[in-house]
Homo-oligomer: A and B are copies of this chain.
Amino acid sequence: MTGFGDRLLAALDQRLPLCVGIDPHPQLLEAWGLPQTPSGLRTFGEITVGAFGDQVAALKPQSAFFERFGAAGIGVLEDVVAGARAVGALVVLDAKRGDIGSTAAAYADAYLDPERALFCDALTVSPYLGFGSLQPFIERAGEVGSGLFVLARTSNSEGASVQAATGPEGLSTAQRIVDDAAAVNAALIADGQSFGSIGVVVGATVAPGSVELGRLRGPVLAPGIGAQGAGGAELRAVFGDLPGVLPTSSREILGAGPDHDALRAAAERTAATLRG
């Protein structure tokens, strides 16, 4: 079984090195002439998976926009996840889950069990309850070859109030998360993966040097591209030539829809900008 980290490196090499968000915002549904219903959501999912599924390294459905429609929305999410995986895109489910003990294990059941409809290649998780609370996610991800993206230093300005706070050893909370992820990745690499599977989320818009990522040896999900202000120069300033950086963009690319060719062209344009 090839771990998520290794599969991501291959996908970044073989496809457009980009993650496109599947974010069916109310405004986007309207702009695309789709109804604010599970059926509108379904069409949005079919269009985006159809446009990007064979083109980009990863697709990132945002759970919130499906949860808006309750059980019916989650039914659509199941089909979007399955559809994207069927055409070979890595699916990063953006759900920012986090909890402790058997509750964390239940979330792992939901998203990191190949028998479940919402099985994904990687899940975003939140470490407010401590990196150690993520252990059930980490164990399950390892068993099934999936990965995690742990929130570390995010692209929004409010994030610093929590993420830049300092622990007793003088490190920021964000740096401790990165270092804890690095330790898990070191074990995975010792165990035969060539690259770790426990990634972190670090915004492409943060001040360069906010976190030291050199020892991570795992994926980085980098939001903040396009509408939020970061381009190729910011990406290089923050991440240098770090391997496994997955820039993610939603609004700017989706804004070109719903036309199939226009969506693909927008993804190509964004990827070209990032190559710089």
Chain A interface residues toward B at CB < 8 A: 23, 25, 27, 62, 64-65, 67-72, 74-75, 77-78, 96-104, 106-107, 109-111, 116-118, 126-133, 151, 154, 156-167, 172-173, 176
Contact = CB atoms under 8 A, between A and B. Distances in A.
A70 B106 CA distance: 11
A130 B128 CA distance: 10
> For chain A, what secondary structure do more than half of its interface residues adopt (helix, strand, loop), or is it mixed?
helix
B96 A131 contact: no
B159 A133 contact: yes
Given A67-B110, A70-B74, 19 more contacts: A64-B106, A64-B107, A65-B106, A67-B118, A68-B109, A69-B110, A70-B117, A71-B72, A71-B74, A71-B75, A71-B78, A96-B99, A98-B128, A126-B126, A127-B162, A128-B128, A129-B159, A130-B159, A162-B173
A107 to B, nearest CB: 5
Given A106-B68, A128-B127, A101 B156 contact: yes
Contacts of A116: 68, 70
A104 B110 CA distance: 21
